[in-house]
Amino acid sequence: MAVKVDDSNFETEVLNSELPVLVDFWAPWCGPCQMMGPLINKIAKEYEGKAKVVKYDVQDNQEFAAKYGIQGIPAFKVFKGGEVVDEAVGAMPEDNIKKIIDNNL
């Protein structure tokens, strides 16, 4: 299951993580985001111990959405060592998401 992060723990969970982190920027009212939800949770289980997968609700949290220029959702960013190393926007197949994680392991 993907971990929920917000403005209060983003730095700890994402920027200071030892593992690469895939952040799913989403909102409850976003249809494509809802569609991606089960897939993101599945990927979180598969990558346990290799990468962290987290969800950031842009409706309730704006600080890091603004900082990283989130304009459209769902948006996915991979962080490694506190820096964005890869990103993608929009609903996409499982293989595409795995590829952006795998490229940064």
Question: 21, 30, 36, 53: which is the annotated catalytic residue?
Answer: 30
What are the b/e assignments for 34-48, b being 16+ CB within 10 Å? eebbeebeebbeebe
55 is catalytic: no
Question: 21, 33, 73, 78: which is the annotated catalytic residue?
Answer: 33
33 is catalytic: yes
Q: Name the residue among 23, 22, 103 with its Cα closest to residue 64.
A: 23
SS3 of 69, please?
Answer: coil
Positions marked active-site = 30, 33
